Structure 1
Amino acid sequence: MVKLKDIAKACKSKNAGPFHITLDIMFDNAALFERVRETGVITPALIARLYNVAPASIQFTEYPPALAWKATLPRRIPSGAIGDTDVYGAQQHAPLLDIEIPIDMPR
């Protein structure tokens, strides 16, 4: 078992307008991307659970040519509204980092 933060090239987030966040998970190794993809761990259901949103509210794209996944989901608080602590949405990727992927990696 390995954590996503230890194998992905990047896990990031950003605003997709004032009411949505986009999450990106990217790899720089096609073979590793395929291994992760084959586990079936990264899904809209996982994103929904991590971010406490309805699965139907997530736009989810698996994009093998870019070795990436993208998910767009509603923000809990609109960007810049009272109570918003991340106006750019740049810190919302943190829950992705500890996703456990059931593969073995050489040490």
Structure 2
Amino acid sequence: MTTVRDVCRHVRSKNAGPYWVTFDLFFDGAESFALYQDSPALGPQAFERLFGADPALVRRYPVPDLNVVKISYARTAPQGGMVERDMHCGQQFVRLLDVKLD
């Protein structure tokens, strides 16, 4: 089974304003990008399962020239709430690393 960590040289997550979180998946080359950019394993249902995101508010933006896929979703609560554990969402990417793409 191929995982995100197997085909991406870098994965990061961050805030995209106070209401959205975004992930950047930097694939290790054009071949991996072409194979996995549209993988259902990185679809809205995966973000619902992993992050509690509303599947209707998950957006995917492929950037073929850079072999990057940007995936964003609306936060369930605005940034900075009382129980915020990762204010800048810099650690959220970890849950994606072991997602099976095949």
Normalised TM-score (structure 1): 0.79
- Cα deviation for residue 47 of structure 1 reads 2.7
Please say if residues 26 and 68 of structure 1, whose CA atoms lie closer than 8 Å, have aligned partners that are also in contact: yes
2:86 alignment partner in structure 1? 86
* Cα-to-partner distance string for 1:3-48 (whole Å, 9 max, x where unaligned): 2112201111000111111111111311222222375543333333
Q: Specify the structure having the higher radius of gyration (Cα).
A: 1
The aligned length equals 102
1:105 alignment partner in structure 2? none
Instruction: Please state if 1:74 is matched with 2:51.
Output: no
- Secondary structure of the corresponding residue to residue 8 of structure 2: coil
Please say if residues 4 and 101 of structure 1, whose CA atoms lie closer than 8 Å, have aligned partners that are also in contact: yes
Shift >6 Å, 4+ stretches? none
Please say if residues 53 and 75 of structure 2, whose CA atoms lie closer than 8 Å, have aligned partners that are also in contact: no
2:64 alignment partner in structure 1? 64
Instruction: Please state if 1:33 is matched with 2:33.
Output: yes
Please say if residues 37 and 62 of structure 2, whose CA atoms lie closer than 8 Å, have aligned partners that are also in contact: no
- Secondary structure of the corresponding residue to residue 2 of structure 1: coil
Q: Letter of the 2:79 partner, please give it.
A: S
1:17-32 matches, cutoff 5 A: 17-32=17-32
Please say if residues 24 and 71 of structure 1, whose CA atoms lie closer than 8 Å, have aligned partners that are also in contact: yes
84-93 vs 49-58, which moves further: 49-58
Aligned equivalents of 1:91 and 1:32: distance in 2? 24
What is the aligned-residue identity percentage?
29
Instruction: Please state if 1:49 is matched with 2:49.
Output: yes
